[in-house]
Structure 1
Amino acid sequence: MAKEHWTWRCDRTIPSDTGAGRAVLDELLRQLQACHWVEHDVFDVHLATEEALVNAIKHGNRFAPDRRVRIRCRLSDELIRIEITDEGEGFDPSKLPDPTNPDRLESPGGRGVMLMKAFMSRVEYNATGNSVVLEKRCGRDACLPRNNDPAD
């Protein structure tokens, strides 16, 4: 894979508070729109990133005010890479119950990770399970060029 030319980067550490996570997410979404990502890709990134942030704050850090969440983002015209790390004990995502199993359809849990995997190009956890990398490659025909003015 060719080396990406990152047009935007962020590295934020926030408290275990969903409001603080929302502020970083809003900034990320503005940057995607500034790079002319199409709406369905922006939606996918929004949903997956929000899910990962809530998981880090709620399940990883258990809303503990002394614990932090680190969010690192890298954005190019064609790729977004988001790494979210909490200070919790971690978990093994392979041990999550299958949320599509008919016996689990009414049970909570597991759907968020499934949705992240469905909407992103890559979802990868570290060995501890307290850090996740989300990547989304803008669809080949879906990305609009930065300068698409027919007068140019």
Structure 2
Amino acid sequence: MNHTLFIVEEIAQGLAIRMGADMKNIDLASHQTQLFLKKQNLEALTFSICLGMREALTNAVRHGSINLPEGIISYRVQIIGQRIVLEIMDEGPGFNWRTSQKACPNAENGRGIQIMKNYFNTFRYNEKGNRLTLEKDIPGCF
């Protein structure tokens, strides 16, 4: 059962995590992200980075892996240049992100894109819609 899968690997200027499509793993990923940010002296960014990460991972578990309970989600957080870059990818069929960006959020769903717009400088999906990249400028780095 892949639900218990949770592998953390240190990579150049960041972390790579492979995890089973289970909501419990999001807390573990958040903890690892917080430790990484603390190690980089970027604790001031913890709220916004973890908020975006949690939203993206929740979508990957609930929507991307809905038909793949044994699915694997890949998550990376890295410092690239003067930005923190998050990448979340699931094994699902993807979704039409173009129409989702135009939809009005409601109490049940649709808030993720607005969160990303508010807390990240850029966000983009791959063509298929199963990989999301979030980028946030590191304050004081210009």
The two structures have a TM-score, normalised by structure 2, of 0.79
In structure 1, the residue matched to 2:29 is 24
- 8 Å CA contact 1:7–1:77 kept in 2: the answer is no
Partner SS, residue 133 of structure 1: strand
- 8 Å CA contact 1:17–1:63 kept in 2: the answer is no
Q: Which runs of 5+ in 1 are unaligned?
A: 1-5, 100-105, 142-152
In structure 2, the residue matched to 1:98 is 104
Partner SS, residue 81 of structure 1: strand
The percentage of counterpart residues that share the same residue type is 26
User: Superposed, which structure 2 residues align to 1:24-103 within 5 Å?
Assistant: 24-39=29-44, 41-62=45-66, 64-75=68-79, 78-96=82-100, 97-99=103-105
RMSD: 2.2
Q: Which runs of 5+ in 2 are unaligned?
A: 1-10
Q: Which has the higher contact order (CA 8 A, sep 6+)?
A: 1
State the Cα distance separating 1:68 from its structure 2 match.
0.7
In structure 1, the residue matched to 2:140 is 140
Instruction: Determine which structure has the larger strand proportion and give its number.
Output: 2
CA distance in 2: counterparts of 1:7 and 1:131, whole angstroms = 20
Residue by residue, what CA displacement relative to the aligned partner does 1:77-132 show, whole Å, maximum 9, x if unpaired? 84211110011111122212122xxxxxx553211121112101111100000000
Question: Number of paired residues?
Answer: 129
Structure number, greater radius of gyration: 1
